[in-house]
Amino acid sequence: MIKIAVLVSGGGTNLQALIDAQKAGAFPNGKIVLVMASNPKAYALERAKNAGIESVVVSRKSFDDPADYDRAVVETLQSRGIDLVVLAGFLSILGKPVIDAYPERILNIHPSLIPSFCGAGFYGLRVHQAALDYGVKITGATVHLVNEIPDGGRILLQKAVEVLPGDTPELLQKRVMEQAEWKLLPQAVAMLCEQLEQEKGN
């Protein structure tokens, strides 16, 4: 069984999509066993509790030295035997020690078609504001592997979403979540669980 940790910072709608997909049998050889939040106020923690999933808060602000934060994250994940890490609306930067501990095993969902509107400073509504400011007619979401470059890892899945006249960042975010993020992330988790299960079998 592939043990999955989902890292969150906010409302947790992508976490909820994963919980619902797991219940629907979308990734039978994977199990979400931990939700790790970057702050204690994340509503995603409520979602984890309702789903009976262990949760823990590891806040970047509690550590003066980034190396201590990275060590705490790795220990939190390795103590639960985590195989696959999913960043779902996670806003803290993971340092090299975390990336090295989980090579090609950390997924992130970004609310644009990378390489557009991504990288440092592009998160949440800012991404959709930038898309509207530029006047693109098509945007979407991307699931990619995580490396040390923000939003820089290998792209796994993308899905396009139409920008409509009169869109606000909030309206566009909702459409991108509903039509792209909440579909792509479970799909990508299923792909990686399949791949990791096969690797374990070899």
Catalytically annotated residues: 110
Q: Which of 2, 4, 5, 13 binds ligand GRF (CB under 6 A)?
A: 13
Counting every residue, how long is the chain? 202
CB 10 within 8 A of CB 44: yes
- Report the residue number, 15 or 101, with the smaller CB distance to ligand GRF: 15
For residue 153, which phi and psi values (nearest 5 degrees)? Answer: -75, 175
| Structure tokens given for 101 | 């501990």
CB of 87 to ligand GRF, least distance (A): 8
CB of 111 to ligand GRF, least distance (A): 3
Beta strand 84-87 pairing with 106-110 = parallel
CB of 8 to ligand GRF, least distance (A): 6
Q: What CA–CA distance (Å, rounded) separates 98 from 190?
A: 22
| Structure tokens given for 21 | 């997909």
Of 95, 4, 11, give the one whose Cα is nearest residue 47.
11
One-letter amino acid at 15 equals: L
Q: Which of 12, 30, 153, 186 binds ligand GRF (CB under 6 A)?
A: 12
With contacts defined by CB under 6 A, name the span among 11-19, 27-35, 55-63, 187-195 that binds ligand GRF: 11-19
- Report the residue number, 12 or 153, with the smaller CB distance to ligand GRF: 12
Residues that bind ligand GRF (CB under 6 A): 8, 10-15, 44, 88-89, 109, 111, 124, 173, 181
